[in-house]
Structure 1
């Protein structure tokens, strides 16, 4: 017989059910609506910038690494700070951290919109991510403390649907704003949304603090985890940008990250109140849900990065048309999220999660076939299949992670769930961007020679090939003929497509691994028990 360790939510036993709310403050469904507005803003910003990236790159004359850091700086700041932010919410109240996060996120968004250099933009994106980290786990903590057990799964399902729909809807809204207003408007839009979320939060949200909330902070753990994540992503990005995968610097940073993660794990077993109680990971379903979120976000966020450059550079589409071509992805996520939530509530998360990652893997391998002549219908089929696969994972993995954590660690669980997603997104963007860039570097000169172009390869055009776009001024270059311009354009497109195909192949392999991980998930036992003990 397997032994079980029981973690109670209070010294007296299971935490009591939330008392019925009177009036607006603390009303469960109004609380869900209030936190959804704030969460929507943060989730939207994870992808809305994707469509703006090509325009930002041209306007601010940014390199490929700069453009990667527009996304990576945001995701990495989120990932590094989320678990710490969850601890802050557990200690000082989730309402307070949520409201501070909303106000800071909106202010940082305004600062980004007023930035006139890529350095400032990336710096404010990092600040934006830090404030976003405050409100994401706080939202889950508020839901966990507000909803009765029999309705918590439904609330988390709706919460997951909001994140999924916002993440998928980013490219469409971004396309409209970039084409008809400016790339700055992609960030300015967060200001009125933030004001609305702040006003609703002040009126509706009720402060909740667990009886066993932590009283101190694991500063050493915060430093070790932050340094490990930063070292890992920095090494991967620089490998694709300039160092190369055979460089000692690249493996020095990656090796340093592994050592820091190991030190972090050792330290967490020694400290009285650890940043992440490692005992949580004795739960195989919770561990599997965390890994699954990392792998799903790796494939999705990493795959979305080259797609936007494919649509704008290779296919020559404007921001709005690029967003519209991603509409099947958005629509399928919006439609399938509540369906996935219903299936997970009735049958448990395992089968929907496995099916979702199978669809995701198939879509990734399918997108390796995209070419300059791919029809809109074929693209739509692959994008729709990707949306169908992502929705169950976003909804189900959230339930698996949060449903297996005790109430006093609800902020940590919320932070862990979101940190897993942001780490996966940052690593996916960094790794797949580096794979694409390395492939372009290795093939450009050969493709140039095979095309029979009589002049030496231009390093500036090799850099352009990383974005898949043929410079508009190419045909005006001295000595340029229409035939020569056509050959150079074909080299740029073919080299980019080769790099993108390899990136999607890597994403597909990662999704296949995620299928295996999904077989280890199951419904959280404490969620079924209505907030009782967690059996590990």
Structure 2
């Protein structure tokens, strides 16, 4: 990519930009990192506040679930379209709009007095989050030369890891010592800093052959397909995988994806040119991201229940126990970026997924009595395995896409994570539920506990599936200990099977990683920027 191949911000006389800060690669990285930090922090900090929101706004469990699901749906459905917006109108503009909108909606949520308003604003948060995330990758892709792009993405990944790790701890402290509104208010000053810094530093750089129009039918078809898929996966645990509603949404997703693919071959300006997937490394990187997110997010879903409901840790203490995982991701991501720059992505990606496989196998051996030292060891190994995958797969996807599709590639990377995470949580959740349904009656009877009715057993199975002991009121201490033991051992048995499946998926991902290679289009940064 040469200087002539881009359209950059320039002074009116066509000379170089007025500000020496504008377009500087490392300052660009710092700017987008602040924005991405805000979104990554929000992803985990809100979960800690949900119980307080439920209590103060008198919300139902379904309402609280919608606070999360509304955000995830809006994010997943619009990521690729948002990336296309950046390719069309400029990643600087979409990033700054995303930052401003995310901060504004966060402040409005804190001022809300009803759960309906919170849910609606969380949907808008997801839309603005979708704008800024692909734009961040698009800006890095356009600003950094090939030999520095992996390092930049490594630091970007470390910021995400640090923010994700800090979320439960900061959220717990804010809810405990202030109020639930504070977990949203914190985004306002962070967003303001990111916006001001972005206005001073970011430079809009678009390919000369950037898209000139919007594929409206493609947007409608892809958005509808993503909605059906994510909604079906979200509702499958509650409705059941064989339920007509679940099947309708999942089959609808397949039909809509097929219709989208057909339309894209006919569109003059396709939303996603299907020729993009002729790149074997890009396709492998996308599949790898889905499989990694399946194993990681699906498995991590149970870890929080294990720490809080089996071991009895508070949310803050649980966050501290997860620090070895996120800490290794923070340290490992920049190192992974340097290793990938030197050796290429294939060896680090295969090695990372093999480490992840071993960590998942180790975590499948956890028991209710496993000490913190052993648990933290497996968490650290998991973080060490995930770091090169987060960095390498992102670079493979974005780096193998042409510059004019950098936003779409960034949206594709984020969408792959959302789909993989939703799929992993839904599938492993179904495995856990089936395992608990199968084992609980036998374990209950073996402990000589009083027989339960069908309704009581269904209620008990739901509680045990998240590690909660279904101890009835006025139960004697001895009986309560017995029920707790049965519940925890049954839950851990289900977790063992779930982590075993996650390990198998991670092993498949290691094979997929063999087909990755360095980005073919990750050429020099435009404008001769100094690194």
CA 1:430–1:47: 2 relative to 1, 3 Å: farther
Aligned to 2:264: 268
Does the 8 Å CA contact 2:80/2:411 hold for their aligned counterparts? yes
Cα distance in 2, alignment partners of residues 349 and 423 from structure 1:
23
Q: Of residues 76, 80, 84 in structure 2, which corresponds to 1:79?
A: 76
SS in structure 1 opposite 2:206?
coil
Aligned to 2:495: 500
Does the 8 Å CA contact 1:80/1:226 hold for their aligned counterparts? yes
Cα distance in 1, alignment partners of residues 182 and 252 from structure 2:
39
Aligned to 1:143: 140
Aligned to 2:368: 372
Structure 1 residues without counterparts, runs of 5 or longer: 1-8
Matched, 1:228 2:225: yes
SS in structure 1 opposite 2:367?
coil
Cα distance in 1, alignment partners of residues 465 and 254 from structure 2:
29
5 Å matches for 1:200-239?
A: 200-239=197-236
Aligned to 2:477: 482
Aligned to 2:512: 517
Question: How many Å apart are 1:451 and its aligned residue?
Answer: 2.5
Does the 8 Å CA contact 2:169/2:320 hold for their aligned counterparts? yes
Question: How many Å apart are 1:524 and its aligned residue?
Answer: 0.9
Aligned to 1:286: 282
SS in structure 1 opposite 2:257?
helix
Question: How many Å apart are 1:216 and its aligned residue?
Answer: 1.7
Cα distance in 2, alignment partners of residues 83 and 407 from structure 1:
15
Which has the larger displacement, 103-112 or 346-355? 103-112
Cα distance in 2, alignment partners of residues 69 and 446 from structure 1:
35
Question: How many Å apart are 1:422 and its aligned residue?
Answer: 2.1
Cα distance in 1, alignment partners of residues 511 and 135 from structure 2:
31
Aligned to 1:452: 448
Cα distance in 1, alignment partners of residues 420 and 465 from structure 2:
22
Cα distance in 2, alignment partners of residues 428 and 351 from structure 1:
25
Structure 2 residues without counterparts, runs of 5 or longer: 10-15
Cα distance in 2, alignment partners of residues 348 and 62 from structure 1:
50
SS in structure 2 opposite 1:226?
helix
Which has the larger displacement, 35-44 or 487-496? 487-496
Matched, 1:346 2:345: no
Cα distance in 2, alignment partners of residues 266 and 108 from structure 1:
37
Aligned to 1:3: none
5 Å matches for 1:321-360?
A: 321-360=317-356
Cα distance in 2, alignment partners of residues 153 and 207 from structure 1:
21
CA 1:96–1:78: 2 relative to 1, 3 Å: same
Question: How many Å apart are 1:178 and its aligned residue?
Answer: 4.0
Cα distance in 1, alignment partners of residues 107 and 340 from structure 2:
39
Cα distance in 2, alignment partners of residues 462 and 258 from structure 1:
32
Does the 8 Å CA contact 2:222/2:257 hold for their aligned counterparts? yes
The alignment's TM-score, normalised by the length of structure 2, stands at 0.89
Does the 8 Å CA contact 1:49/1:186 hold for their aligned counterparts? yes
Cα distance in 2, alignment partners of residues 99 and 530 from structure 1:
21
Aligned to 1:5: none
Matched, 1:437 2:433: yes
CA 1:186–1:487: 2 relative to 1, 3 Å: same
Root-mean-square deviation over aligned CA pairs: 2.9
CA 1:321–1:106: 2 relative to 1, 3 Å: same
Question: How many Å apart are 1:68 and its aligned residue?
Answer: 5.9
Cα distance in 2, alignment partners of residues 366 and 339 from structure 1:
24
SS in structure 2 opposite 1:363?
helix
Cα distance in 2, alignment partners of residues 113 and 29 from structure 1:
33
Q: Of residues 152, 156, 160 in structure 2, which corresponds to 1:155?
A: 152
SS in structure 1 opposite 2:22?
coil
Does the 8 Å CA contact 1:178/1:186 hold for their aligned counterparts? yes
5 Å matches for 1:87-102?
A: 87-102=84-99
Alignment size in residue pairs: 517
SS in structure 2 opposite 1:25?
coil
Kindly provide the CA deviation profile for residues 397-424 of structure 1, in whole angstroms up to 9, marking residues without a partner as x. 1111111111111111111122212222
5 Å matches for 1:406-445?
A: 406-445=402-441
Kindly provide the CA deviation profile for residues 330-370 of structure 1, in whole angstroms up to 9, marking residues without a partner as x. 11111111111110000000000011111111112221222
CA 1:93–1:186: 2 relative to 1, 3 Å: same
Cα distance in 2, alignment partners of residues 347 and 191 from structure 1:
41
Question: How many Å apart are 1:530 and its aligned residue?
Answer: 6.2
Kindly provide the CA deviation profile for residues 516-535 of structure 1, in whole angstroms up to 9, marking residues without a partner as x. 11010000122156689xxx
Aligned to 1:4: none
Matched, 1:390 2:389: no
Question: How many Å apart are 1:136 and its aligned residue?
Answer: 0.9
Which has the larger displacement, 150-159 or 328-337? 150-159
Does the 8 Å CA contact 2:158/2:331 hold for their aligned counterparts? no
Which has the larger displacement, 434-443 or 311-320? 434-443
CA 1:238–1:146: 2 relative to 1, 3 Å: closer
Does the 8 Å CA contact 1:44/1:167 hold for their aligned counterparts? yes
Cα distance in 1, alignment partners of residues 373 and 55 from structure 2:
29
SS in structure 2 opposite 1:271?
coil
Matched, 1:308 2:304: yes
Cα distance in 1, alignment partners of residues 65 and 377 from structure 2:
27
Cα distance in 2, alignment partners of residues 14 and 529 from structure 1:
11
Does the 8 Å CA contact 1:355/1:389 hold for their aligned counterparts? yes
Does the 8 Å CA contact 1:51/1:322 hold for their aligned counterparts? no
The alignment's TM-score, normalised by the length of structure 1, stands at 0.88
Aligned to 1:6: none
Question: How many Å apart are 1:224 and its aligned residue?
Answer: 1.6
Kindly provide the CA deviation profile for residues 135-155 of structure 1, in whole angstroms up to 9, marking residues without a partner as x. 111112222333344433332
Cα distance in 2, alignment partners of residues 522 and 353 from structure 1:
10
Which has the larger displacement, 444-453 or 186-195? 444-453
